[in-house]
Chain A
Amino acid sequence: MFGLHYKLETKAIALVLAIIGVSSIGGLVEIAPLFTIDQTVEEAPDMRVLTPLELAGRNIYIREGCNACHSQMIRTLRDEVERYGPYSRAVESQYDHPMLWGSKRTGPDLARLGDKYSDAWHAAHLFNPRDLVPQSVMPAYPWLARTQLRTDDLPLHLERLRTLGVPYTQAMIENAAADAAGQAAPNTERAWGVAERYGEATNVRDFDGAQGAPTEMDALVAYLQMLGRQTAIAHAQAGDAP
């Protein structure tokens, strides 16, 4: 064996091919089957897609690096289930490009954050966390409330996600910009369109508490309030009401 290696070392190309061959096996065995084995991701017929406003909020979450300190993956451990809620199912992130499971909890897990606090709490907490939680070390995000949300590119976002397999309809894509504004402006004509396209369970509220065009705060709070609310499968299997 060592004699063989003594010869291998004299051929650069052979060494290159050997490295590629030996190193590819692990990834192929572990990753490829995840795309083909049906049990990998369970079925959830009630799974809904993110609205344009929630998607924009998700992109702000990514932009600000929230995933560095907050996980969105409740493990199958008793203390986690009791602290955060039913453990996370694979289907719950099946539309997440990329996934935001995270790897560190400097702050708490957010997988089931939706509806846990009020919109006003979130807006105040994001403006300055220490106003509400004096011991918090979370950064303050005062610029979110005063930055108007960019909505003109949202149809493009939905279209690209549809290409990748997220089931957005043509109507959702065409109305994405209007729906983003409508979701943060309840009791307007545009708000009705949101419920019509994304379902009655969609949160249509003035998330940042300020009138007018949607802000980045609207989007981020809308996203946070939706976390864990895309499907009731985890609650149904755990035997409690969502």
Chain B
Amino acid sequence: MLSALSTSQRQAALVFLVLLAFVGLFVAGIGRADPIAGHGWLVLAVSLLSIFAILTRYYDPEPPADRAGSYYDEPVKVGIILAMIWAVVGMFVGDWVAWLLVYPEMTFAEPWASFGRLRPVHTTAVIFGFGGNALIATSFYVVQRTSRVRLAGTLSPLFVLWGYNLFCVLAATGYLWGINQSKEYAEPEWYADLWLVIVWVAYFVLYLRTLARRQEPHIYVANWYYLAFILVVAVLHIVNGLALPLSWAMAKSYPIFSGVQDAMTQWWYGHNAVAFFLTAGFLGMMYYYLPKRAGRPIFSYRLSIISFWGITFFYMWAGSHHLHYTALPHWVQTLGMTFSLMLLIPSWASAGNALLTLNGAWHKVRDDATLRFMMIAAVFYGLSTFEGSFMAIRSVNALSHYTDWTVGHVHAGALGWVAMITFGAIYASVPWLWKRKTMWSPALVEAHFWLALAGTLIYVFAMWNSGIIQGLMWRTYNESGTLAYSFIQSLEAMRPYYIARAIGGVFFLLGALIGCYNIWMTIRAAGSAEALRDDHPQSRPDPALEMGR
């Protein structure tokens, strides 16, 4: 990866890393009475390790001056490997906390190992670590192929990728040390948030500059989604993260909004993190890898347009459905519910567009587990968007809110849609990137597919059951007109479902581990250089990526 850098770029990287090391040392010094010092030392250590890595390769031969004739795939490769590492970490911690709800003593008597601190490690590692790295890596891959141009920068893609991972590490270690802002999916404190803004701006600039150099007149639909993901996540992150730190030397901050305004801002963020991180970004992935793998162009160009703008417009109104029957004004709740229902149209337009693209390629779906991952992802996307619109109806939400049904819904999306489309995209990309004909073992891809599907179904069915039972027990009255069940009775009733959920998680984790092994073996296997000979900017565009009019 470092051999792609010219001498001047190696020097620039060193200067930046020395500065970063000093920032780390400075924070460790001024914050020595505060948990923030730990992060100062961490940044210092990461900078020193990176400096060391560059110095050992400093005198390596320079890359050729003109590399416009090839794609820049090193960051993509590293991103995919990082995504898989985060997947295993995140899913392992997720399953651990799932077992903690069955056996609450199954942990260490240390603050870092308690449920409340581990849970955000799970959500952050899976959403931002696994999902985010997969999005960054595939967006780098896709924007180059669909624009037929090399990434507009050599150093900046590395900065985006490693800078983003530094954010993820700051976030996850912070929770373990008790640094947590409490905002769901936005738990990291102000300094990690600021760092992410810098990384994200670099990502946006890189993406835009690459698009500006494209050799294709039209911007391919996958890039619309990646662009929306980058842009809107930036807006959401900045507005929801507005906070007043205690001081530059302290990790703690107070968000500037309070009470009902904070709740609305948080769920405007929270729901659209789902929309633009977990939906738009992964739809971008789907719009490239699914037609490419199936060898068929997207079914309908017009449906793509309708669903893209529908999602971009409708989703932003839907956040208030997280606050039905609360102290949020009724008119905002009603707007949220209404737009959540309308959202079903663009969502199903996307899911339908994906599934109809497979017409004429269903025999490939049968034979190829990689494509089947993507097909099942589209199915779960359709199911969970339907479920989401349904749960946004106020009277349904009265039952479902605060219960495990929400958790089940999130995981139908996260396991069934996000992880499945990502595994499909990764299994497609790995042989392309490392110049192999196929994955090392297609049989293991098949095994991963069935483990992932079984795990998802067990998980989702367990949570539907537990959520609906919980919701019903909480509102059941006996004949004398008083509540029939105490809270603890409803908790006891959850136990079999919590066991089932944790077992489903084991299945899913096992699948991911098999995937890691298969990817590792594919990378190590001797490659055949003739595979994908025409994967460069001068090659003809793939007919499967042509859009109709």
Chain A residues at the B interface, C-beta cutoff of 8 Å:
2, 5-6, 9-10, 12-13, 15-16, 19-20, 22-27, 29-31, 34-35, 37, 39-41, 59, 62-69, 71, 73, 75-77, 79-80, 82-83, 87-109, 129-130, 133, 135-143, 153, 156-157, 160-161, 163-166
Contacts of B491 in A (CB 8 A): 106-107, 135-137
State whether the Cβ of B332 lies closer than 8 Å to any Cβ in chain A: yes
The 8 Å CB contact of B260, one of A27, A41, A143, is A41
Whether A83 contacts B254 by the Cβ 8 Å rule is no
Contacts of B401 in A (CB 8 A): 75, 103
Contacts of A88 in B (CB 8 A): 326-327
5 contacts across the A-B interface (CB closer than 8 A): A68-B119, A82-B482, A83-B483, A98-B255, A137-B101
State whether the Cβ of B265 lies closer than 8 Å to any Cβ in chain A: yes
Whether B313 contacts A22 by the Cβ 8 Å rule is yes
Nearest Cβ distance between residue B326 and chain A, in whole angstroms?
5
Among the stretches B109-117, B128-136, B510-518, the one at the interface with A is B109-117
Whether A83 contacts B114 by the Cβ 8 Å rule is no
Q: Can you list, as one digit per residue, whether each of B234-251 has a CB less than 8 Å from chain A (1) or not (0)?
A: 010001000011110010
Contacts of B264 in A (CB 8 A): 30-31, 34
Contacts of A20 in B (CB 8 A): 231, 235
Query: CA of A161 to CA of B258 in the docked complex: distance in angstroms?
Result: 10
Whether B488 contacts A135 by the Cβ 8 Å rule is yes
The 8 Å CB contact of B256, one of A68, A102, A139, A164, is A164
- Which B466-523 residues have a C-beta within 8 angstroms of A? 470, 474-475, 477, 482-483, 487-488, 491-492
The 8 Å CB contact of A16, one of B183, B208, B339, is B208
The 8 Å CB contact of A65, one of B120, B232, B258, is B120
The 8 Å CB contact of B101, one of A63, A82, A106, is A106
Q: Can you list, as one digit per residue, whether each of B413-433 has a CB less than 8 Å from chain A (1) or not (0)?
A: 000000000000000000000
Chain B contact patch, size range: 35 or more
Contacts of A140 in B (CB 8 A): 104-105, 109, 114
Contacts of A143 in B (CB 8 A): 110-111
Contacts of A22 in B (CB 8 A): 309, 312-313
- A-B contact sample (5 more), CB < 8 A, given A23-B313, A79-B474: A15-B219, A26-B268, A93-B260, A103-B402, A104-B402
Whether B336 contacts A30 by the Cβ 8 Å rule is yes
Tell me whether A90 and B403 are in contact in the complex, defined as CB-CB below 8 angstroms, given that A15-B227, A133-B488, A137-B491 are known contacts. no
Whether A6 contacts B488 by the Cβ 8 Å rule is no
State whether the Cβ of B263 lies closer than 8 Å to any Cβ in chain A: yes
Whether A96 contacts B258 by the Cβ 8 Å rule is yes
Tell me whether A94 and B259 are in contact in the complex, defined as CB-CB below 8 angstroms, given that A62-B180, A75-B324, A108-B487 are known contacts. yes
Whether A97 contacts B317 by the Cβ 8 Å rule is no
Query: CA of A197 to CA of B475 in the docked complex: distance in angstroms?
Result: 42
Whether B250 contacts A153 by the Cβ 8 Å rule is yes
Query: CA of A165 to CA of B261 in the docked complex: distance in angstroms?
Result: 13
Query: CA of A198 to CA of B261 in the docked complex: distance in angstroms?
Result: 26
- Name which of A12, A15, A133 has the most chain B CB atoms within 10 A of its CB: A12
The 8 Å CB contact of A62, one of B181, B258, B316, is B181
The 8 Å CB contact of B325, one of A15, A41, A65, A76, is A76
Query: CA of A103 to CA of B261 in the docked complex: distance in angstroms?
Result: 16
Contacts of B212 in A (CB 8 A): 12
Contacts of B316 in A (CB 8 A): 23-27
Tell me whether A157 and B246 are in contact in the complex, defined as CB-CB below 8 angstroms, given that A90-B260, A104-B402 are known contacts. yes
Whether A40 contacts B116 by the Cβ 8 Å rule is no
Tell me whether A31 and B265 are in contact in the complex, defined as CB-CB below 8 angstroms, given that A10-B219, A90-B260 are known contacts. yes
The 8 Å CB contact of B335, one of A29, A65, A76, A105, is A29
